Amino acid sequence: MVTVNQQRVPRKRTYLMCAPEHFAVEYAINPWMDLTVGVDVALAVDQWDRLRHTLVDLGHDVHVLTPQAGLPDMVFAANGAFVVDGTVYGAQFKHEQRAAEAAAHREFYQKHGWHFIAPSETNEGEGDFAYLPEAHGGLILAGHGFRTELPAHAEAQEALGRPVVSLRLVDPRFYHLDVALASIDDGNVAYFPGAFSAASQRVLAQLFPDAVLADDEDALAFGLNLVSDGANVVLNSDATRLAGKLKAAGYTPVPVDLAELKKGGGSVKCCIAELRP
């Protein structure tokens, strides 16, 4: 059972985001992208900026990556790399439409002096990797099934020196790990069991017996595509029941509206990469 009314302590985080100045739905590479639905770029920028200000107001540092024309999904900055203890494991996108984003992220990290390791395997950064520094001595959870390839999990383990637990995603609506599971503090997660294979569900239940479980309604509202500092949980405003579960577990839900960016198949976490020095 989840511990109720436990005191939650926030930890200052450093994030990387990229404004949706060129955001559009010009192709369909996930079930959420509909080429017949228009995008209001000005509204997308406004919603994104509110998210950025929310993080800053919570006391976190936010770096901003320069958006590039012709890369409409750069707003989903979580996909560009995965950072643990000052080491950056770079991304290698599955779809050619996003491939050039990897170089933009690599340039940022190298310019700012991070130790960057170029990948040989297909992986989509923090979209399919989550790090929990206080879970079982420091654990990486890694998704596969739709985007990131299984060999990338072994490559990440060698690059980052942390054990990697592979989790198989089985529902194409949850094509990345970060739309099905999120770290809510340094040692615990929230997730939607139905996004995972039966075996992966058993693994998660064993590793995280106190996890917050989302239902399908909140999962489909991108509620799990959230960012938490260990106390404050920034999540999609449509995920009301999940917000209630998090509050009951002692967290403070901070709802934000990212309806325009959802048209591209992402929400809060997709827009935010965590930089872990």
Model confidence pLDDT, tens digit, residues 70-126? 999 999 999 999 999 999 999 999 999 999 999 999 999 999 999 999 999 999 999
Pairwise CA distance, residues 237 & 43, whole Å: 16
Sorted by sequence, the CB contacts under 8 Å of residue 81 that are 6+ apart come out as: 88, 89, 90, 91, 105, 106, 109, 116, 125, 126, 273
Q: How confident is the model at residue 6 (pLDDT cuts 50, 70, 90)?
A: low
Pairwise CA distance, residues 131 & 201, whole Å: 18
Look up the pTM and report it.
0.95
Q: How many CB atoms lie within 10 A of CB 34?
A: 11
Pairwise CA distance, residues 196 & 84, whole Å: 24
Pairwise CA distance, residues 91 & 79, whole Å: 7
Pairwise CA distance, residues 120 & 125, whole Å: 13
In this structure, are residues 218 and 242 in contact, taking their beta carbons and an 8 Å threshold?
Answer: yes
In this structure, are residues 165 and 140 in contact, taking their beta carbons and an 8 Å threshold?
Answer: yes
115-169 pLDDT per residue, tens: 999 999 999 999 999 999 999 999 999 999 999 999 999 999 999 999 999 999 9
Pairwise CA distance, residues 112 & 134, whole Å: 27
Sort strands 61-65 and 232-236 into parallel, antiparallel or unpaired: unpaired
Active site residues: 176, 270
